[in-house]
Amino acid sequence: MPTPARPLDAVLAEELARLADAALRRNLRAIDSASDTEVVIDGRSHLLLSSNNYLGLATHPAVRAAARRAIERYGCGAGASRLISGHLDLHAAVEAKLAAFKGTEAALLFPSGYQANVGTITALVGRGDHVYSDALNHASIIDGCRLSRASVHVYPHRNVRTLEAELAATSPGSRRLIVTDSVFSMDGDRAPLAVLTALAEQYHSWLMVDEAHATGVIGPRGAGLAAADGLGDRIDIHLGTLGKALGSAGAYVAGSRALIEWLVNRARSFVYTTGLAPAAAAAAGAALDVVVAEPERREALARNAVRLREGLSALGFAVGGDTHIIPVAVGDNRPALRLAEELRTRGVLAQAIRPPTVPEGTARLRVTPMATHTGAQLDRVLAAFADAGRAAGLLR
């Protein structure tokens, strides 16, 4: 007689206790207001420094109005996958707008960035192929690489020498794909896109760039880091999300007409999922117009990031990155949680980021200002960090 399996709940309770012991347990915290510079939690206002709504567009009047109009015209759901009966003229219009924004032939909407990465990578490479991935790439890229069954070469963060050695050591003939975040989500630094582009060309590799954190934020029209670096035309696959700076939900892949046609046929996370909700598509379309028309939002975000990064550094925190994403290094999980908790009691929400989101021993607070934070709000944030840092024993 085989021993019977233990009851599910008993196994999971034990696993959850183990997570809690390692200060790795995560809990949901409900916000009872719009995602804005200040949010309400448990009836109390908190300054929000943990949002990707970088430009404040989630609550922009024109973006809200576009979503409302889309609901009135199309209803709340697309009703089916895009290839069945869920393809709306609204989707086509937003895709055309995204392609123009990115300067590509075509673009394709996905319901999320996670799905866009998994679907695109698995549609392009498979068994016997090679994919080269930065060690700090987003989890959705990692999952896409794993699911593709291609050989995955993970190179140390931004280490183009190791990448080149791996490319040179790969026998020619099979497909190769280099994939990278443009702005790294938890470190706030930038991919060396000029070198990656040159290596991709030299070693006959395709290049895919995930601009989740740069779309709307970086570059002349907010079109991303590739555009800022003048490399847009030399990147095969552009990906970005609509749920961060664009204040909505969903994602896009942009590139050649052939790429988009292939994804329509072969990206399983596009084919086998319901079309992006009309309100989300319309909101993203309206947000794109605001991004292009109001460069002052990008400028305000950059100014706020400098002010916050310099302020935190002056207090004695170890800050990193050189974008609007400011990692405050702590190291161990417990003190990172403690600092976040001390901040929360002082009315500031800045979440601790722990493994497996970041490598072991590199727990941190990920601090992100918004374009719409006022100077007075940032002063309050810095004052709270000074007190909380002392209370958590991280500052003298």
Ligand X SMILES: *Cc1c(COP(=O)(O)O)cnc(C)c1O
Catalytic positions are 185, 213, 244
370 makes contact with ligand X (CB under 6 A): no
CA 224 to chain centre: 13
- Residue 257 CB burial class (10 angstroms; 0-12, 13-18, ≥19): exposed
114 makes contact with ligand X (CB under 6 A): yes
Question: In this structure, are residues 180 and 152 in contact, taking their beta carbons and an 8 Å threshold?
Answer: no
Question: In this structure, are residues 280 and 248 in contact, taking their beta carbons and an 8 Å threshold?
Answer: yes
Three-state secondary structure readout of 48-82:
ECECCCCCCHHHCHHHHHHHHHHHHHHCCCCCCEH
In this structure, what token pair is assigned to residue 114? 């996670």
Of residues 148 and 241, the one with the C-beta less far from ligand X: 241
The residue within the footprint of ligand X, chosen from 48, 136, 251, 254 (CB under 6 A), is 251
Distance between CA atoms of 358 and 28, rounded to whole angstroms? 19
216 makes contact with ligand X (CB under 6 A): no
366 makes contact with ligand X (CB under 6 A): no
187 makes contact with ligand X (CB under 6 A): no
Q: At 351, phi and psi to the nearest 5? A: -75, 145
The residue within the footprint of ligand X, chosen from 91, 97, 130, 138 (CB under 6 A), is 138
C-alpha separations of 141 from 125, 152, 254, 380 in Å: 13, 11, 16, 36
- Amino acid (one-letter) located at 166: E
The residue within the footprint of ligand X, chosen from 37, 104, 122, 140 (CB under 6 A), is 140
The residue within the footprint of ligand X, chosen from 113, 224, 255, 278 (CB under 6 A), is 113
The residue within the footprint of ligand X, chosen from 53, 112, 133, 197 (CB under 6 A), is 112
The residue within the footprint of ligand X, chosen from 134, 166, 210, 342 (CB under 6 A), is 210
240 makes contact with ligand X (CB under 6 A): no
**Stretch near ligand X under the rule CB under 6 A, chosen from 85-93, 108-116, 165-173, 346-354:** 108-116
243 makes contact with ligand X (CB under 6 A): yes
Segments of the chain assigned E as strands: 38-41, 44-48, 106-110, 130-134, 151-155, 176-181, 206-210, 237-241, 251-255, 318-319, 326-331, 348-349, 352-353, 363-367
Q: What's the closest the beta carbon of residue 211 comes to ligand X, in angstroms?
A: 8
212 makes contact with ligand X (CB under 6 A): yes
Q: What's the closest the beta carbon of residue 375 comes to ligand X, in angstroms?
A: 28
In this structure, what token pair is assigned to residue 18? 């183990």
245 makes contact with ligand X (CB under 6 A): no
311 makes contact with ligand X (CB under 6 A): no
Query: In sequence order, what are the residues at sequence separation of 6 or more whose Cβ sits closer than 8 angstroms to the Cβ of residue 269?
Result: 110, 115, 116, 118, 119
185 makes contact with ligand X (CB under 6 A): yes
Total chain residues near ligand X (CB under 6 A):
14
Of residues 104 and 368, the one with the C-beta less far from ligand X: 368
Question: In this structure, are residues 88 and 74 in contact, taking their beta carbons and an 8 Å threshold?
Answer: yes
248 makes contact with ligand X (CB under 6 A): no
Q: What's the closest the beta carbon of residue 111 comes to ligand X, in angstroms?
A: 8
Distance between CA atoms of 237 and 257, rounded to whole angstroms? 11
Of residues 212 and 352, the one with the C-beta less far from ligand X: 212
Given the rule CB under 6 A, which residues bind ligand X?
112-114, 117, 138, 140, 181, 185, 210, 212-213, 241, 243, 251
